[in-house]
Amino acid sequence: MENFIYSMIIAATPLLLAAIGELVAERSGVLNLGVEGMMLMGAVVAFAVANSTGSTPLAILAGAGAGAGMALIFSVIALSLLANQAATGLALTIFGIGASGLIGQSFVGIALEPLAKLSIPFLTESTAVGRILLGHDPMVYMALALAAGVAWFLYNTRGGLALRAVGDNHDSGHALGYNVIAIRYMATLFGGACAGLGGAYLSLAYTPMWAENMTAGRGWIALALVVFATWRPLRLVAGAYLFAAVTQLQFYGQDWGLPIASQFLAMAPYVATILALVIISRDVNLTKANAPACIGKPFRAER
Amino acid sequence: MIVLEPRPQPSRALALLSPVIAIVLTLIAGGILIALMGRPPLEALRIYFFQPFEEFWMWLTLPTGEREMWLYTPSEVIVKAIPLALIGSGLAVCFRANVWNIGAAGQYTMGAIISGWVALSAPEGASGIWLVPYLIAGVLGGMLWAAIPALLRVRFNANEILVSLMLTYVAALLLDWLVRGPFKDPLGFGFPESKEFQPGFIMPVLVDGTRLHLGVALAVIAAVALWVMMGRTMKGFEVRVIGAAPRAGAFAGFSRDRTIWFVMLLSGGLAGLAGAVEISATVQQLQPQINAEYGFVAIIVAFLGRLNPIGALFGAVILAVSYIGGENAQIMLKLPKAVTGIFQGMLLFFLLGCDTLIRFRIRLARPRVG
């Protein structure tokens, strides 16, 4: 059980990182379906930098930068040129799968040292709680801090208010003098950087290597998590941990002697995503009250 | 500063020209990418995008006796285009209704699984007439898988993009389990493959010396039928109205839910048919990998074809050219396979960007002072 919770926390981290970024983008009214592609680019670029420089902080930064770069492509096409956001996001994912495969082809089969784990003398090792909570790599805590920071920003700052206003009604936001497009650019780039961090976590810590398509749908699960959390950051943290627990079933199911083929256990996160979407979406009041009203709608200032 | 100025009317000329501009921009960007990789850009682009057309030209112009060898590459392009066209024309209708079936890859896989099950459980010595139930089973498999996101969307308001996409992973894992378990060939030396299909389940080849098969007729018939439906029937009008203005559609008595069911089952059925056709025409057995990525590439096909079913035929040929070109470039220039994916992604980027020109004029304006 101790191992299960420990690995659940690790599995939740990439989902949480990617989803918290997408939450900010969606709160500003932008639906970026390219999370999977941005994560893959973050993963491969972070791996490349870690492999060539040996510097973890640089690798993490590069991963975030790669994700933000991808988000910039999305922003130019979907926000400045007013293209359909769903289609642009899909293009971003298709492009990201191809581009990460190309960049990563020389790294296939190389393994890195995983990120160093935190170890507080006495506290980490002496109790089960310490081992579960205090023995992780820094990105685990960074993801949680990021979620807390986003929650604080959205509900306690003028910037957060402007971001939510623009997402709920871009015409009113514009009339109030907010630069809708600039706010959406920043939110989308932040979302991309977070997705890049999520990808970097996969290739630096979760499985410290590069493999094509190594995200295996986590970008899409992150998108579903945002809906599941009804666009609220703290619910998102709970959702990510819950999902990660389901993901872990495939690794622990066989240890526990469940008489189920591995493929069916591997389906668990995807089926759970569908169930979660159904449970949340069926309650119209819940989604209507929280979903940004202008999500996915292009905005063009009249003057 | 660049300003977008709305046109009084969307430009029809640019609606047709925009894919051409997008292809040219993709070629330029692709050439730069290839040059950065240290390969000859013009040579690579020729192999990627023009060689099949050159060879087709040779076949057209050379006298009988010398020309046969030039047909092979163009025929392979058409073979690749068949599943892309079947899926893409269905998605074109679906996207027109503003319903986002992104899980065609899963419906394709499910079509292959159900039709494969028919083929594997048929009696020994099954004749060619079995191809009919085989293909119908493919359609039903795809419809079954598309019915799940349709039901959850209509009944529970669950986002069809995410549900249909999650189901692609479920379908792929199901296929993986089947070919390693119940469908595994007991005489297959432990490989994760089914038995090979009997001759009765193989799509008839139309031209000797090539793999060009009956599926091309199915793809063309499907596209033309959908085009007629969209342009000439009440159902097509309903789909277009619901997609463009759902409130107006509701006043006209059109049901959004019924349209969602209709376009999801239609696009899912065609994706399932594509899966059945593709397996029967190429590998003739179930394997863990059955090119399900066609389901995603068909999204580009639908957009390249202007969300018009006939346009999707052309879109399918262009994407098929990039696939065949990618295979040739891999052999001749050692260009990695991933380059094809980059080209396809860039093409959709440029296409979406260029489509802005249909509705807007781009004007340079001085920033307002004061």
| Interface contact B349-A82, CB threshold 8 A | no
Q: How far apart are CA A196 and CA A192, in angstroms?
A: 6
B283: distance to nearest CA of chain A, Å? 23
User: What's the CATH fold of domain B71-334?
Assistant: ABC transporter involved in vitamin B12 uptake, BtuC (1.10.3470)
Residue-wise pLDDT for A183-216, tens only, equals 999 999 999 999 999 999 999 999 889 998 999 8
Question: Which chain B residue is nearest to residue A272, measuring alpha carbons?
Answer: B166
| Interface contact B297-A287, CB threshold 8 A | no
pLDDT, chain B, mean = 91
What average pLDDT does range A247-269 have in this prediction?
Answer: 80
The ranges assigned to domains in chain A are: 2-290
What average pLDDT does range B1-18 have in this prediction?
Answer: 82
Residue of B167, B180, B345 with shortest CB distance to A91:
B345
Lowest mean pLDDT among A75-79, A243-247, B19-23: A243-247
Q: How many residues does chain B have?
A: 370
Give B122's DSSP letter: S
- CB contacts < 8 A, A to B, total 145
Which residue type does A234 have?
Answer: L
Residues 69-108 of B with CB under 8 A from A: 100, 102
Long-range contacts of B5-14 (CB under 8 A, 24+ apart): B5/B360, B5/B361, B5/B362, B5/B363, B6/B359, B6/B360, B6/B361, B7/B358, B7/B359, B7/B360, B7/B361, B10/B358, B10/B359, B11/B357, B11/B358, B11/B359, B14/B354, B14/B357, B14/B358
What number does CATH give the domain A2-290? 1.10.3470
Question: Which chain A residue is nearest to residue B170, measuring alpha carbons?
Answer: A267
B123: distance to nearest CA of chain A, Å? 29
| Interface contact A81-B157, CB threshold 8 A | no
**Is residue B362 within a helix (H) or strand (E), and if so which, with residue range?**
strand B360-364
Per-residue pLDDT at B370: 44
Residue of A266, A277, A300 with shortest CB distance to B4:
A300
Measured between beta carbons, the chain A residues lying within 8 angstroms of B297 are 94
- Choose among B195, B215, B211: nearest CA to B119: B195
| Interface contact B158-A270, CB threshold 8 A | no
Q: Is the pLDDT of residue A38 over 80?
A: yes
Residue of B162, B300, B353 with shortest CB distance to A77:
B353
Q: How far apart are CA B162 and CA A47, in angstroms?
A: 28
Q: Is the pLDDT of residue A73 over 50?
A: yes
Per-residue pLDDT at A303: 58
Residue of A212, A224, A264 with shortest CB distance to B162:
A224
Per-residue pLDDT at A239: 92
Which segments of A54-201 does DSSP mark as H helices, in order?
A: 56-74, 85-104, 123-126, 128-134, 138-156, 158-168, 170-175, 180-201
Residues 317-346 of B with CB under 8 A from A: 336-346
B338-359 and B294-304 are packed helices; what angle lies between their axes, rounded to 10 degrees?
30
What average pLDDT does range B116-127 have in this prediction?
Answer: 90
Residue-wise pLDDT for B283-330, tens only, equals 999 999 999 999 999 999 999 998 999 999 999 999 999 889 888 888
What percent of chain A stands above pLDDT 90? Answer: 60
Q: How close are the terminal C-alpha atoms of chain A, in Å?
A: 60
Strand partners, B362: B4
Complete DSSP assignment for A7-38: HHHHHHHHHHHHHHHHHHHHHTT---TTHHHH
Do B145 and B107 meet the contact criterion of CB atoms below 8 Å apart?
A: yes
Give B129's DSSP letter: G
Residues 24-43 of A with CB under 8 A from B: 33, 37
| Interface contact A227-B156, CB threshold 8 A | no
What average pLDDT does range A82-96 have in this prediction?
Answer: 91
Per-residue pLDDT at A7: 86
Q: How far is CA A37 from CA A218, B43, B264, B318, in A?
A: 10, 29, 25, 23
| Interface contact A98-B343, CB threshold 8 A | yes
Per-residue pLDDT at B367: 60
Q: Is the pLDDT of residue A122 over 80?
A: no
A118: distance to nearest CA of chain B, Å? 35
Per-residue pLDDT at A283: 83
SS3 state at A214: coil
Does any CB of chain B come closer than 8 Å to the CB of residue A274? yes
Residue of B162, B181, B348 with shortest CB distance to A91:
B348
SS3 state at B364: strand
Query: Which pLDDT band holds residue B368 (cuts at 50, 70, 90)?
Result: low
| Interface contact B342-A95, CB threshold 8 A | yes
Query: Which pLDDT band holds residue B84 (cuts at 50, 70, 90)?
Result: very high
Residue of B157, B163, B338 with shortest CB distance to A101:
B338
Query: Which pLDDT band holds residue B281 (cuts at 50, 70, 90)?
Result: very high
Query: Which pLDDT band holds residue B1 (cuts at 50, 70, 90)?
Result: low
Residue of B102, B177, B300 with shortest CB distance to A264:
B177
Q: Is the pLDDT of residue B271 over 50?
A: yes
What percent of chain B stands above pLDDT 90? Answer: 59
CA count, 13 A, side-chain hemisphere, B278: 32
Query: Which pLDDT band holds residue B6 (cuts at 50, 70, 90)?
Result: confident
What average pLDDT does range B12-23 have in this prediction?
Answer: 88
The ranges assigned to domains in chain B are: 1-39+337-370, 71-334
**Sign of dihedral through CA atoms B284, B285, B286, B291?**
negative
Per-residue pLDDT at B234: 92
pLDDT, chain A, mean = 90
The model's pTM: 0.92
Per-residue pLDDT at A64: 97
